[in-house]
């Protein structure tokens, strides 16, 4: 069998399968926990001509990516760069570079990604104490202080924006507790960076990581990370090799050094083009304006959902504006609603994870997705899907309530 549309070379080898001439993905409105919608100019950046990973053009672009990331992280940290990998690579980067075998670590586990940090720290050889709270709840300063006193850690790791639950961990005052104990504070801001306040320097965070595909609205594939002065001292004085060669900041940072470059790996060239454009869009809009946009669309969505009797799974003071976890009404088929939203309206929302599986939906309003047109379309589509399962409400109430917020 020959490949459709192609001329086979002279050969006795025959292709066993018919390969399609093109594979066009469906058009989706991404309102799940990530990835988010991507601006057309970011997608266009991916199609620019690929150059070498040490080409002068690309090295200059890397410098600009670093500087824009510092502005988005709200930091002056020299070691701020984009790890070649997704947000989980950013997590591993921060933890394996700061942890040596036998080090004590405190990790806040109140969702899937706190649990993942715990596992990464364990695999790096750490003696891990997990502070635990039910999914959807957050840790108090008193709980964090008690864990620090109990374990005397080198590192305290917390998730600022727990993607699995929609909960936002308060960080005011945490760094002082951590630093008074001689420890480092590592923060997961995968879902929050570019969508709400996460001022690294003002909050005195020692190391933080994010992902390109959430509120930065870039395709997945890069993980912004930043290391402060205390973390840098640990990197420079550690005596054991970093667990991961690929994520060793002692090596990777030389590739990203602005004055001189040392080859480490072939960076994803075109993904960096896309991140450069995505960061440019973020800063062109302005951080404060962007944060207010996320909050406004969250309030409109909340008003719409509450108007038809759908409750949030997280207390109001701890809710994320960009990741809305809501309770599935009694008697409603979770997968049936999500499936119909996807099939008939092209709208993707997320299912619950862990103990929230089958009990919650996760509705994302990240970056380019956080627009009134998307909120209103989703609410109208959700009403139709709920009505098909016999859910009782006043038709049009959700859209009217959301519009009231926008008006």
Q: Is the pLDDT of residue 360 over 80?
A: yes
Q: Is the pLDDT of residue 1 over 60?
A: no
Sequence-separated (6 or more) residues with CB below 8 Å from residue 10: none
What is the distance between the alpha carbons of residues 104 and 259, in angstroms, rounded to a whole number?
36
Sequence-separated (6 or more) residues with CB below 8 Å from residue 285: 293
Instruction: Give the per-residue pLDDT at 24.
Output: 85
| Residue 8's pLDDT band (cuts 50, 70, 90) | very low
Instruction: Give the per-residue pLDDT at 55.
Output: 94
pLDDT, one tens digit per residue, over 380-403 is 999 999 999 999 999 999 999 999
Can you name the residues that pair with 79 across neighbouring β-strands? 227
Q: Which CATH architecture has domain 286-406?
A: Alpha-Beta Complex (3.90)
* Number of continuous H segments (helices) and E segments (strands) in the chain: 13, 14
Q: Is the pLDDT of residue 282 over 60?
A: yes
Q: Is the pLDDT of residue 313 over 50?
A: yes
Of the listed ranges 17-26, 43-52, 112-121, the one predicted with least confidence:
17-26
In angstroms, how far is the first alpha carbon of the chain from the final one? Answer: 61
Region 116-135: mean pLDDT is: 98
pLDDT, one tens digit per residue, over 232-281 is 999 999 999 999 999 999 999 999 987 778 889 999 999 999 999 999 99
Instruction: Give the per-residue pLDDT at 153.
Output: 98
Q: Is the pLDDT of residue 7 over 60?
A: no
Sequence-separated (6 or more) residues with CB below 8 Å from residue 258: 63, 66
Region 347-363: mean pLDDT is: 97
Element spanning 274, H or E: helix 269-285
Instruction: Give the per-residue pLDDT at 330.
Output: 96
Q: How many percent of the chain have pLDDT more than 70?
A: 95
pLDDT, one tens digit per residue, over 187-229 is 999 999 999 999 999 999 999 999 999 999 999 999 999 999 9
CATH 3.90.1150.10-classified regions of the chain: 286-406
Calculate ∠ Cα 337-397-373, nearest 5°.
Answer: 70
Q: Three-state SS for 21?
A: coil
| Residue 19's pLDDT band (cuts 50, 70, 90) | low
Tell me: domain 40-284, CATH 3.90.870.40, correct?
A: no
Query: DSSP string spanning 291-359?
Result: HHHHHHHHHHHHHHHHHTTPPBSS-GGGB-SSEEEEEPPTT--HHHHHHHHHHHH-EE-EEP-GGGTTT
Q: Is the pLDDT of residue 49 over 90?
A: yes
289, two tokens: 């304006």
What is the distance between the alpha carbons of residues 362 and 163, in angstroms, rounded to a whole number?
9
Instruction: Give the per-residue pLDDT at 158.
Output: 98
What is the distance between the alpha carbons of residues 162 and 122, in angstroms, rounded to a whole number?
20
Region 177-182: mean pLDDT is: 98
pLDDT, one tens digit per residue, over 321-339 is 999 999 999 999 999 999 9
């Amino acid at each position: 069998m020959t490949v459709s549309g192609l001329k086979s070379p002279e050969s006795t080898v025959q292709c066993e399968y018919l390969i399609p001439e093109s594979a066009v993905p469906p058009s989706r409105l991404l309102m799940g926990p990530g990835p988010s919608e991507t601006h057309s100019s970011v997608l266009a950046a991916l199609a620019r001509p690929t150059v070498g990973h040490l080409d002068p053009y690309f090295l200059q672009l890397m410098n600009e990516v670093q500087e824009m990331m510092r502005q988005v992280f709200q930091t002056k940290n020299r070691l701020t760069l984009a790890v070649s990998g997704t947000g989980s690579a950013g997590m591993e980067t921060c933890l394996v570079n700061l942890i040596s075998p036998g080090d004590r670590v405190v990790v806040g586990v109140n969702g899937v990604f706190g649990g993942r940090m715990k596992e990464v720290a364990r695999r790096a050889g750490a003696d891990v104490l997990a502070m635990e709270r039910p999914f959807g709840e957050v840790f108090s300063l008193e709980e964090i202080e008690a864990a620090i006193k109990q374990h005397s850690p080198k590192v305290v790791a917390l998730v600022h924006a727990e993607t699995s639950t929609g909960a936002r961990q308060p960080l005011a005052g945490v760094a002082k507790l951590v630093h008074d104990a001689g420890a480092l504070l590592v923060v997961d801001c995968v879902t929050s960076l570019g969508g709400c306040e996460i001022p690294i320097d003002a909050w005195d965070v020692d190391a933080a990581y994010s992902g390109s595909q959430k509120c930065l609205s870039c395709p997945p594939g890069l993980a912004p990370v930043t290391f402060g002065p205390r973390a840098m001292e640990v990197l420079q004085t550690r005596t054991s090799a970093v667990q991961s060669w690929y994520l060793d900041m002692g090596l990777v940072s030389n590739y990203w050094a602005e004055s001189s470059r040392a080859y480490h790996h072939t960076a994803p060239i075109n993904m960096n083009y896309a991140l450069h454009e995505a960061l440019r869009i973020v800063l062109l809009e302005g951080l404060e304006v962007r944060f207010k946009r996320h909050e406004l669309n969250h309030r409109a969505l909340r008003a719409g959902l509450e108007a038809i009797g759908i409750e949030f799974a997280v207390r109001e003071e701890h809710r994320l504006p960009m990741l809305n976890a809501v309770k599935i009404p009694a008697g409603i088929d979770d997968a049936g609603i999500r499936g119909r939203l996807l099939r008939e309206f092209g709208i993707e929302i997320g299912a619950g994870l862990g103990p929230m599986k089958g009990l919650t939906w996760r509705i994302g309003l990240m970056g380019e997705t956080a627009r009134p047109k998307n909120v209103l379309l989703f609410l109208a589509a959700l009403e139709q899907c709920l009505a098909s399962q016999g859910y009782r409400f006043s038709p049009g109430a959700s859209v009217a309530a959301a519009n009231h917020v926008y008006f």
